[in-house]
Structure 1
């Protein structure tokens, strides 16, 4: 019914092939190994390499600076987004041991799926997420992953809303960073107008930072962002220590608190479904894997795997530290997001008026810097995705047409993010929706399909 040519264009079929792979024994002698693999129809067998061990990799000579550290910081900043504020509440409900186990399993799954994407990129010779999915799974799947990446990144870019919360605070009684730095402002001041503040923030701060084409130029901002999260963790540790010193520290929950989930099985199930996306998507960063592959120098699959593992371990340790210390300090009074408890009202009983003012200001300023970094890093793959949607098969990085559309697309996305920040009342609705659908597709479903379509799972698992 369908000829081979139409199948190649619309949906590459997977067919088993006996592939000769040259590898090396321990003494350096060459061996010819035949391995059965699944390759899409139309992919040249000679260009599809399945690496069996570290010595298979052919690393081009590189004399420039090693970017392992800066790339790891950039990936860590991608992971450490606004979602980290709701993890303490999830730990409080599930219990510390359960929360830690789930977070560790999610980190392991994230590491494995990222390795699968990197391996597939090498095997197919493609350098974007969508092109890898297109080669492995067909044209419809390409549009599916582009839609998932677009929805996820655009949703996460609504952190502009949190910018306003940090800078202004409660609209009725402004208590944000602006009122701390400039006391005595009247409530109707333009400096406390949400739309005006967001407009200045978007045009004066975000626009200049979104114009660099390479993520390497943002390494300093990323380092500041990760440092601000570390400062946030140290602040919650300080507050927890003060609570323990006064004998007011709360006990850590060791088991799930079913009473917080609901009274009926249906209510408990609904609550668990609301919590699941928070932890399941805590480490999502797949949208930035392909841009960061070009940043890591010298590049190898093993080096990228180690860099990913390091970033995931650091981020999950910070998640756990913030969650544990926040629960110790505030216990049942812990809000839906940990930032709401780091205000003068909640901190004064523990560290005094002066200490509460200093810690509250430092935490908000640091988190503001962190969110700026998260916004820039999220907009980068979002812009890349939009350009790929517009140009279709003509998309090629650094091409004349791509460069011509770069600025208009950037301005359009910033305008869209500003509009969402003004019109949408709460970011948590967006995070819940995006986390339960788009992030899961982008971070786990499509990578799993790609892994199954390109390599044997056993080979991928043991090659690192």
Structure 2
């Protein structure tokens, strides 16, 4: 549940960055609304997130079945593909025009700190694939439960394709100027005709994509929290009062936390280095070691121990690097 909550905060923070803008170092990257209308109180981060929560999130999270979100989910996937296609198209056009500089293929390791910093990317990658908390809910609503395996495999393949294509073409396009939140790179002239139009299409499509993903993740959070607080009560979908109270309370907490999170990169790093690692690696390995049904082989248990050790070591380093980077930023400021 902790990981689901943190992931939702990441999504909410990303929406705030895209719509209202974000600051990287001393440079402020304008959000969509700020670019269109200028900086005003009504398009500040707090107001924009509040409007998003009331006008977009509230109606979508009011559904009691995942099946009710099938069309918005399909649309969110389509919007993610639009983002990738446009980014790839711009990168390819600039590549043929000879206006893309050759990016570095390998990081520069100029000391121990550089090696530590490499570990900060691991939690971000881990967070991207922590999505299995919805598998059981989807499985329960399927008429033919044998479909769950191809559904999961197709989802992982699609996600991997989008991640790889986005990272490759974005880095090819922006090179060393690629920001933690790559969407912030689309607030400047891309060096192609109708650059501002493509900038807006990319950011609007991805902001809409994130908004439509939010209720899917929220569904699992609400279900898990209800099971934790009311383990003996009837299902939350059959109790309108409990459903409304938990939904409103969670939206309020998420809204307040999203305003306070300073950076999408910080959110991804600490989410991936804590809850995501527990959910994705340590807890599954512990289940194997416990082996309640006596079906785990010796090889399985060795792999489980290895997974726990690697997860703890790598993410301890990542947490240390994240914390040190934050302290350095404060000292510089």
Native 8 Å contact 1:157 1:417 kept in 2: yes
Counterpart of 1:378?
217
TM superposition score normalised by structure 2: 0.80
Residues 1:198 and 1:233: Cα distance change in structure 2 (over 3 Å): same
Q: Select the residue among 173, 187, 196 that pairs with 1:357.
A: 196
CA distance in 1, matches of 2:48, 2:175: 34
Q: How does 1:100-249 map to 2 (within 5 A)?
A: 149=1, 151-158=2-9, 159-170=11-22, 175-180=30-35, 183=36, 185=37, 187=39, 189-249=40-100
Distance change >3 Å, CA 382–CA 398, structure 1 → 2: closer
> Which runs of 5 or more structure 1 residues have no equivalent in the other structure?
1-148
Would you say the 8 A contact 1:161–1:421 is kept in 2?
yes
Q: Which has the higher helix share?
A: 2
Report the equivalent of 2:179: 335
CA RMSD of aligned residues (A): 2.4
1:290 is aligned to 2:136: yes
CA distance in structure 2 between the aligned counterparts of 1:161 and 1:283, rounded to whole angstroms? 19
Shift of 1:203: 1.1
State the shift of 1:445 in Å: 1.9
SS across alignment from 2:142: coil
**Aligned-residue offset at 1:228:** 1.0
Q: Shift of residue 268 of structure 1? A: 3.1
| TM-score using structure 1 length | 0.58
Distance in 2 (CA, whole Å) between partners of 1:222 and 1:245 is 35
Quick check: which has more Rg, 1 or 2? 1
2 CA distance for matches of 1:395 and 1:269? 50
1:290 Cα shift? 1.4
In the alignment of these two chains, the number of paired residues is 292
Q: In the aligned structure 2, how far is the partner of 1:419 from the partner of 1:359?
A: 32
Where 2:120 maps in the other structure, the secondary structure is helix
Tell me how far 1:164 sits from its aligned partner: 2.0
Q: Answer yes or no: is the 8 Å Cα contact 2:30–2:184 preserved in 1.
A: no
Match of 2:270 among 425, 430, 433: 433
Question: What is the SS of the residue equivalent to 1:248?
Answer: coil
Check 1:165–1:398 CA distance in 2 against 1; reply closer, same or farther (3 A cut): closer
Tell me which of 110, 113, 117 is aligned to 1:271. 117
CA contact (8 A) 1:387 1:409 kept: yes
Once residues 382 and 250 of structure 1 are traced to their aligned partners in structure 2, the CA distance between those partners, rounded to angstroms, is 43
| Residues 309 and 177 of structure 1, relative CA distance in 2, 3 Å threshold | same
Cα offset, 1:436, TM superposition: 0.8
